[in-house]
Structure 1
Amino acid sequence: MHEHLDALEKRMQHLQHAMRQAHEQHDSAQVNALRLELQRTQRAWDALFAPDGEPDQAQPASPSPPAFERAWADAPAREQVHQALALLTVPAAPQLLSQVHEAFFSRPLNTARLTTLRRDEERSFRATPFARPYYVCSALTFDLLSPARALLALSTWPLEQRLVGPLTHRVNFLTSAMRLADAAERLPGDGTPPEPVQRLLLRCARNIPGYPARGPLDLGRLRRAAAAEREIHASDDADTRAEAARRARQRLSDADQIFGSPLRNVARERRSS
């Protein structure tokens, strides 16, 4: 719990500093965006003190899920990536992000636009740290603490959530399947997900033991099968990522904790130790 508190308190300080800078620059839109992010972070901090099993009375009810039928044709790639990652809650490859965005937000991502997105995000952060409510970044490898190839994440996630260990790919796949099943149930309509959503979930289901190879989509059964297998790996995976996060907080700067440590620096550190 202490690590989560430290991370949230540090995040709030950064957001307050960024709000002050935006205010001095008369950027009211940025101030408003940062204020909303600060409120979300404050609620997450408050929730850690809620008694076990009791709802946090100070925290307002969660907002309604996004209107999935909204057209995203004019949204920047950065915003589209954010929407897909926020739905999945785990690092994901551009191809999966495009499939999720097409199924749930009615338009595929142009993955070619993502080739420079992470570099642009890092350049922006290093020029003005924490000036944006979030940054699209790479997931980090658990051993070298370097950017994981072709896996995007959000800077607002806890460090443990952005790390990738030997079991993380499987755990994250199962988590994604469960999140997509939850999102499918929230879609408006008669309870039958649209065809693109069904195709995406059935592709996931084929790779989950315990889910039948044939038959119509069963969201409850898919979720139970994914949860059962995730339970096998989740504890070991969490331990690996927690240890990697501890090392990262000790060794890396704020920027490197988000965007990763250059491999040459890690190699030099290992030779000198």
Structure 2
Amino acid sequence: MSDPLDALEKSIGTLRRAIRDAAAAGDTERAGELRMQLRRAERAWDALVDAGEPATAPPSPAPQAAPAARGSQLPAREHVHRALMLLGVPAAPKLIVDVHEAFFPGELSTSKLSSLRRDEERSYRSSPGARPYYLCPALAHDLLTPVRALITISTWTLEQRVIGPLSPRTDFLSGAIRIAEAVQTSAESAADGPSPQALRLLWRFAVNIPDAMPKNASGHEGALDAQQVIGAAQAELDVHTETDRANRAAAARQARKSLSDDEQLFGAPLRGVTHLRSARA
């Protein structure tokens, strides 16, 4: 399974390289925005490391139950963060809950996510930067308003958090690859293999990707080949990635010019739509 710490470390490395490139190009505005994202990512890394270190010895003599118990005691925002870090793309509440159920211990429901999103914005506005990360909506590429049906993480780059015309499909394919990789890891490392929930989730992705299903599929999730899903998803992703990346990059540049720091996380207010249209004219 993809480790959230590994994903954050990869993101930190990517941000550092981007800062170096921006500084070499003399783009001080871009470098400053990337440094802010780097600080958020580093705080998120510290928080995850601290969360993984038990403060006291477990009171129960059953150590095998400790990881699940610790996972079940995490707040809902930590559950959401772990699921999103595994997926690596903006996701709807139902998918986040399904990913969490498939790969992580503890309970999470979509009802918790609706109030959680409001709490995150209130927390940021009352004390910006106090938390290592915030859960925030994706941003529509044209108006930079919040796409409230999709949740992202503040430590991701603007390019990751913007949704362009092709982004729903590219994010679906990218998510399919991450889920298939997590299933592969579970098959190799877990004694009983991937969970039934993980296999069902991978099946739901595979049936919507050309050539991802085995020709002799029997209608059972166990017939899936995770590597075949990865190959099929990557083949289609290669077709769309360049255009999607260009659309997202253009929207991100506009966001950096037009939006305040908090609006870059939570979106432009509707009253700012006319201003953004004028800025593009």
- TM-score, shorter chain, exceeding 0.5: yes
Shift in Å, 1:237? 0.4
- Report the secondary structure of 2:149's partner residue: strand
Residue segments in structure 1 that go unaligned for 5+ positions in a row: 17-32, 40-66
CA distance in structure 2 between the partners assigned to 1:95 and 1:105 by the alignment: 15
8 Å contact from structure 2 (residues 73, 106) kept in 1 = no
Residue segments in structure 2 that go unaligned for 5+ positions in a row: 1-17, 50-64
Shift in Å, 1:79? 0.9
CA distance in structure 1 between the partners assigned to 2:263 and 2:41 by the alignment: 18
CA distance in structure 2 between the partners assigned to 1:15 and 1:230 by the alignment: 26
1:224 and 2:222 aligned: no
CA distance in structure 1 between the partners assigned to 2:41 and 2:203 by the alignment: 40
TM, length-normalised to structure 2: 0.74
- The structure whose residues are more often helix, as a share, is 2
Shift in Å, 1:133? 0.4
CA distance in structure 1 between the partners assigned to 2:104 and 2:262 by the alignment: 31
CA distance in structure 2 between the partners assigned to 1:15 and 1:204 by the alignment: 29
- Closer/same/farther in 2, CA of residues 198 and 254 from structure 1, 3 Å limit: same
TM, length-normalised to structure 1: 0.76
Shift in Å, 1:196? 1.3
- Closer/same/farther in 2, CA of residues 199 and 34 from structure 1, 3 Å limit: closer
CA distance in structure 1 between the partners assigned to 2:100 and 2:44 by the alignment: 25
1:141 and 2:145 aligned: no
Q: Aligned letter for 2:159?
A: E
Q: Aligned letter for 1:70?
A: A
Map 1:40-189 → 2, pairs under 5 A: 70-71=68-69, 72-187=71-186, 188-189=189-190
The aligned residue for residue 197 of structure 1 is 198
- Closer/same/farther in 2, CA of residues 233 and 116 from structure 1, 3 Å limit: same
The aligned residue for residue 62 of structure 1 is none
1:261 and 2:268 aligned: yes
CA distance in structure 2 between the partners assigned to 1:35 and 1:149 by the alignment: 26
- Report the secondary structure of 1:242's partner residue: helix
- Closer/same/farther in 2, CA of residues 205 and 269 from structure 1, 3 Å limit: closer
CA distance in structure 2 between the partners assigned to 1:226 and 1:269 by the alignment: 35
Q: Aligned letter for 2:101?
A: E
CA distance in structure 1 between the partners assigned to 2:197 and 2:45 by the alignment: 36
Map 1:245-256 → 2, pairs under 5 A: 245-256=252-263
Shift in Å, 1:129? 1.1
CA distance in structure 1 between the partners assigned to 2:232 and 2:39 by the alignment: 41
CA distance in structure 1 between the partners assigned to 2:177 and 2:272 by the alignment: 37
CA distance in structure 2 between the partners assigned to 1:79 and 1:35 by the alignment: 12
CA distance in structure 1 between the partners assigned to 2:45 and 2:247 by the alignment: 34
CA distance in structure 2 between the partners assigned to 1:88 and 1:77 by the alignment: 17
Q: Aligned letter for 2:264?
A: Q
Count of residues paired in the alignment: 229
Shift in Å, 1:190? 4.9
1:80-110, Cα deviation, whole Å (9 max, x unpaired)? 1101001001000000001101111144521
Shift in Å, 1:254? 0.6
The aligned residue for residue 10 of structure 1 is 36
What root-mean-square deviation, in Å, do the aligned CA atoms of Structure 1 and Structure 2 show?
Answer: 2.7
CA distance in structure 1 between the partners assigned to 2:31 and 2:45 by the alignment: 19
CA distance in structure 2 between the partners assigned to 1:157 and 1:251 by the alignment: 19
Q: Aligned letter for 2:124?
A: F
- Closer/same/farther in 2, CA of residues 12 and 240 from structure 1, 3 Å limit: closer
